[in-house]
Amino acid sequence: MLLGALTQNGKLGDCARWIAAAPEPAAREIRDFLELCVANVASNKQKKLLESVRSADEDGADSLLYEVVAHELLRRLHLDPEFWPKLDSGLTPDMIIRAAKQEFIVDVFLTRNPSRTNRPILRTVASVPKELRDLPMKYTVDAGDRAKKIGERILEKYRKYARTGKPMVLVAFLGDYHMQMLDVECALYGASLQDGRLRDDFPKAIMRFRNEFAAMNIGRAPAPGVLLPDESNRPGCPRLSAVLACYWFDSVDRNDPGRLMQCKVLHHWKPDVPIPSGAFGQFPEVAWTAKSSGSYEHNIVNLPTAVARFTGTDEFEFRDHS
């Protein structure tokens, strides 16, 4: 099903084209898994899904592949995902899931390293072998652009679905090795979890820092922090219960090759409707607890280095990837 739709699309990017046509075992493994993912989508949605794959542009095709992977991920976590549901508002999110008798809108997005972070490498005859001089070479420098890009996508999704009144969970797939979990943390909380301002007196400490940073007028904005309070001290994006940040990658273990799924559940520190801790299996979670002082502290639930492998037709195999 899916392979036929991919091969009929002449606008695929490098990744989807490799998945569709490459003879390597790694590509065959992904093709077989994606066919299973599509087969597990409700039968009345499969025709429309395959039509979308046939006609999508480069970015759209990649996004559709990650949508079906996300559906399979949530299905195996027993969250009963409904693919492309039609809401009363007329909107069609990627999914609806159910946890603790509560429905959550789910929308998926794929994010890659912003092109503006790329810099060309200036090469000289002495420093570069002759056979490499004409090849494009570059390096990447991030000054907060990755977190900014993720924050913008989160706000775009949030504004689209907040008017439904339903709580939501966003799934952010990191599309290349430049994008990291800490970029998603900065996009949400205004800093990475290693920053002391997220450990002490949150969110007041990080807000004081942001105000001081802005007063310095050095021409660069701090990390987005889309969940941080506004001027009226109201939490940002309160209908966003959590973001599930994911990286689907190839194992480097030659004795045990295959794809692994790394996920981190980044909960809102003060959501309107929380999604229960533990709803996402053994993946690590950043959970928040209110303190008597009025501040919040975060705790890491589950093994921080846990990853999972899709096994069989319905299971996960969790393992330590330290």
Which of 125 and 210 is assigned the larger pLDDT?
210
Whether residue 318 has pLDDT greater than 90: yes
8 A C-beta contact, residue 99 and residue 279 = yes
Q: What is the mean pLDDT of residues 277-285?
A: 96
Taking all residues of the chain, what is their mean pLDDT, rounded to a whole number?
Answer: 91
Which of 213 and 32 is assigned the larger pLDDT?
32
Q: What percent of the chain has pLDDT over 90?
A: 74
| Residue 319: predicted pLDDT | 94
307 pLDDT band (50/70/90 cuts)? very high
Q: What is the pTM of this model?
A: 0.91
116 pLDDT band (50/70/90 cuts)? low
- Cα 245 to chain centroid distance, Å, stands at 4
Q: What percent of the chain has pLDDT over 70?
A: 90
Q: What is the mean pLDDT of residues 138-144?
A: 70
Whether residue 58 has pLDDT greater than 80: yes
Whether residue 36 has pLDDT greater than 60: yes
Whether residue 119 has pLDDT greater than 80: no
What SS3 state is found at 218? coil
Kindly report the length of the chain: 322
| Residue 124: predicted pLDDT | 56
249 pLDDT band (50/70/90 cuts)? very high
| Residue 214: predicted pLDDT | 78
Q: What is the mean pLDDT of residues 107-131?
A: 71
What SS3 state is found at 93? coil
In angstroms, the CA 227 to CA 266 distance is: 11
Q: What confidence tens digit (pLDDT) does each residue in 152-185 have?
A: 999 999 999 999 999 999 999 999 888 999 999 9
Q: What is the mean pLDDT of residues 221-233?
A: 88
Whether residue 135 has pLDDT greater than 70: no
Sign of the Cα pseudo-torsion (173, 178, 180, 186, in order): negative
* Domain residue limits at 87: 2-320
Structure token digits, residue 196: 């002391």
8 A C-beta contact, residue 155 and residue 131 = no
DSSP string, 195-217: SHHHHSSBTHHHHHHHHHHHHH-
**H or E segment at 83?**
strand 82-83
257 pLDDT band (50/70/90 cuts)? confident
Sign of the Cα pseudo-torsion (188, 193, 196, 199, in order): positive
242 pLDDT band (50/70/90 cuts)? very high
Whether residue 126 has pLDDT greater than 60: no
Whether residue 261 has pLDDT greater than 90: yes
Question: How many helices (H) and strands (E) would you count in the chain?
Answer: 9, 12
End-to-end CA distance of the chain: 37
Structure token digits, residue 98: 């159910």
| Residue 223: predicted pLDDT | 80
Query: What is the tally of structural domains in the chain?
Result: 1
Sign of the Cα pseudo-torsion (78, 84, 87, 91, in order): positive
Q: What confidence tens digit (pLDDT) does each residue in 78-90 have?
A: 999 999 999 998 9
What SS3 state is found at 44? helix
